[in-house]
Amino acid sequence: MTEQKLISPRASGELCLLSLIWGGSFLAIRTALDEITVVTSVAYRVGFAALALVIWLRLRGVTLPKSPQLWIKFAVMGFLNNVIPFLLMAWGQLYIPVGLTAILNAATAIFAVLVAAAFFADERLSFRRLAGVLLGFAGVTTAIGLQNLLNFSITSVAQLAVLAGTLSYAFAGAWARAMLRDVSPSIAATGMLVASTVIMVPVALLVDGRPSLPQSPSTYLAVAYYALIATAFAYLLYYRVLAMAGSGNLLLCTLLVVPVAITLGALVRGEALTATDFLGFGLLALGLIVLDGRLTRRLLSA
């Protein structure tokens, strides 16, 4: 068993930057949804992000591969990692607060562990990982609230939609490991976003028709932020952190995103979360800390 990489000061700084960027993405998406439909907002997100990364590759003298088999893999990755979760989460944000969306999004790490255990022999559930998963699910259940599930209102459906999006992210991670492990991160990210654009633009035109120009400057800023910064740039930064700090340390990102999203939601949109929401986040955070394992090992060895 190989030891996890230590986080260097530079990696820590970039991890915090990535968390700030993704924490802001929830507010940007919700702001855009005041004037843009869900489907069109996702088409903008993947389309402008893909264009930015294609230009970036061209400036570096890198061309995208032409293999049809590889583009099928990119398309599946785009469907699992962009189309399904972006649509479900954007729709869910119409009915639940920005901060709660971020809390539920942190369940991605919990589902990722379960999906990896189902498909990869070297990622089977240990007692520690199982304990982390159970704590994480307890946190998710607490955040959603048993009463919401029993009533099955539009609020509970929206929360379940966000959770379904995190499950899709988990399957995307397994697909990337199995099918794209030999592809460079920049090519994989660009190919995925290009394939997602090919899927989403026709769907947006079919569902919403020709898009009209937004009226509010804040909508333009929101789209620019979540497409260019929180998607295109964030993917490049994500892979830099992954190379420097390892995949285990990226679990920390899902925790750091939450307070950023909660703070921005409260300051900009006047949203307030309940004590139950914060209790759910606490349990979920504890589950992710147990999954990460380093703090528990230090406590046991002290």
For residue 236, which amino acid is it? Answer: L
Stated as kind and residue range, the H or E segment containing 84 is helix 84-92
Check: pTM over 0.95? Answer yes or no. no
pLDDT value at position 151?
Answer: 65
pLDDT recorded at residue 250:
61
CA angle 237, 241, 242 (to 5 degrees): 115
Burial label for 51, CB within 10 Å (0-12, 13-18, 19+), is: middle
Per-residue model confidence (pLDDT) at position 4? 47
Tokens 């990489």 belong to: 5
C-alpha dist (Å) from residue 262 to 99, 136, 145: 4, 19, 18
Task: Read off the amino acid at residue 231.
Answer: T
Q: What are the C-alpha distances in Å from 148 to residues 30, 153, 160, 273?
A: 22, 7, 10, 15
Residues 6+ apart with CB under 8 A from 4: 246, 248, 249, 293, 294
Which portions of the chain are predicted below pLDDT 50? Answer: 1-4
77-95 pLDDT, tens per residue?
999 999 999 999 999 999 9
| Dihedral sign computed on CA atoms, order 249, 253, 255, 256 | positive
The 10 Å Cβ neighbour count of residue 216 is: 12
Task: Please give the pLDDT value at position 7.
Answer: 59
Q: Structure tokens of 155?
A: 């609020």
Q: Is 246 left (phi over 0), alpha (psi -120 to 50) or beta?
A: left
CA distance 176 to 266: 35
User: What 3-state class would DSSP assign to 184?
Assistant: coil
* Distance (Å, whole) CA 216 – CA 239: 34
Summarize pLDDT for 247-271 with one digit per residue, the tens.
Answer: 555 666 777 788 888 889 989 999 8
Cα–Cα distances in angstroms (integers) from residue 97 to residues 73, 147, 261, 264, in the given order: 34, 17, 10, 11
C-alpha to C-alpha distances, 193 to 130, 168, 208, nearest whole angstrom: 33, 16, 21
Rounded Cα distance between 286 and 86, Å, is 26
